[in-house]
Amino acid sequence: MTHLQAGLSSETTEKARQELNENPDTLHADIQQVRDMIVTRPDIGFLRTDDDFILRFLRARKFNQAETFRLLAQYFQFRQQNLDMFQSFKVDDPGIKRALMDGFPGVLETPDQHGRKILILFASNWDQGRSSFTDILRAILLSLEVLIENQELQINGFILIIDWSNFSFKQASKLTPNILKLAIEGLQDSFPARFGGIHFVNQPWYIHAMYTIIKPFLKDKTRKRIFLHGNNLNSLHQLILPDCLPSEFGGTLPPYDMGIWARTLLGPNYNDETEYTLTYDALHVKGSYGGGDKECANKLMKRSESAVEPGTLRQADRDNTAQPLLALD
């Protein structure tokens, strides 16, 4: 194990070898091969090229150097092409702060059974008078920047659960093709994270219709990892064990406190009136995130109204399994 793998468990190191083709004997050479390609794209400002940074891109593309460099280039190109999104890319930016405090995203402390970090979005929490969709996307990207510093997550990856309960047609109408395309480019094409699954629960019919808009922009691999569960949490539990989920998703964990992740980034004593001075530099951050301090919460931020009692399942179509979005063809 090289110093670049310091802190990894033996199980995760073996997983990286088997699933990602990671070889500690050639790690530095693999990184240097990617770094040598930078001269081929003088149009892009590569603002960070250290070993640790390039390694996360290699892991995201299973050590295929050409695909790794393409992702690295797209990462910085996306930021160059959307300068307004990243000019104040820090936790004390008012738009990002509001989105975080509204629970975009929620980050569960307990990983799934495969070690993947679970992110949750309660769509109905989007107050369009308070946060723009762009601010929500920025808050998600900033959160991922913090999380991806953790080497275990670079290897194990992430799971995203979106609860569409009480998400109105009026709210959905604000998800324009341009906004959806921006989100797909930022998350699917330009960020070094491994997403093992994207799960929709309690989605209304117009979210199905939205798929026809985003389908042309999705890679086949991405489409196969998106699942529509409707109100059938049993199918969700076939993919993510209830022991890993809060009660909102029929899990055995307590209801999720939407303030946990916001407090992790904004500090332990925040409230709605606090002005923050903490900053986060996505290109130079060192160290990994810490856990939230549950005792400092002044309130539980609003959650989906779809919560069920721990350990219980919704009754509809209990014998059905989740359908990937691709099955809507």
Query: What's the per-residue H, E or C state across 186-220?
Result: HHHHCCCCCEEEEEEECCCHHHHHHHHHHHHHCCH
Asked whether 189 and 221 are in contact (CB, 8 A), the reply is: no
Q: What is the DSSP letter of 231?
A: T
* pLDDT score of 268: 61
3-state secondary structure of 223: helix
Q: What's the mean per-residue pLDDT of the chain?
A: 82
**What pLDDT digit, counting tens, does each position of 133-173 carry?**
999 999 999 999 999 999 999 999 999 999 999 999 988 88
* pLDDT score of 34: 98
Residue of 59, 58, 63 lying closest to 12 (CA atoms) = 59
> What is the percentage of the chain residues whose pLDDT exceeds 70?
81
- Average pLDDT of 37-42? 97
**What pLDDT digit, counting tens, does each position of 226-263 carry?**
898 999 899 999 999 999 999 999 999 999 998 899 99
- Across 31-35, 175-179, 275-279, 288-292, which has the greatest mean pLDDT? 31-35
Residue 90: how many other CB atoms lie within 10 Å: 18
3-state secondary structure of 238: coil
Residue 185: how many other CB atoms lie within 10 Å: 17
- Across 114-123, 178-187, 285-294, which has the greatest mean pLDDT? 114-123
Residue of 90, 94, 23 lying closest to 63 (CA atoms) = 23
3-state DSSP helix/strand/coil percent for the chain, to nearest 5? 45, 10, 45
**What pLDDT digit, counting tens, does each position of 174-227 carry?**
888 888 889 988 998 899 999 999 999 999 988 888 877 787 778 888 888 889
Asked whether 252 and 245 are in contact (CB, 8 A), the reply is: yes
- Domains along the sequence of the chain with CATH: 3-81 (1.10.8.20), 89-328 (3.40.525.10)
Q: Which residues fall within 8 angstroms of residue 21, CB to CB, at 6 or more apart?
A: 62, 63
CA 197/CA 220 separation, integer angstroms: 13
CA 245/CA 114 separation, integer angstroms: 13
* pLDDT score of 223: 85
More confident residue, 296 or 240: 240
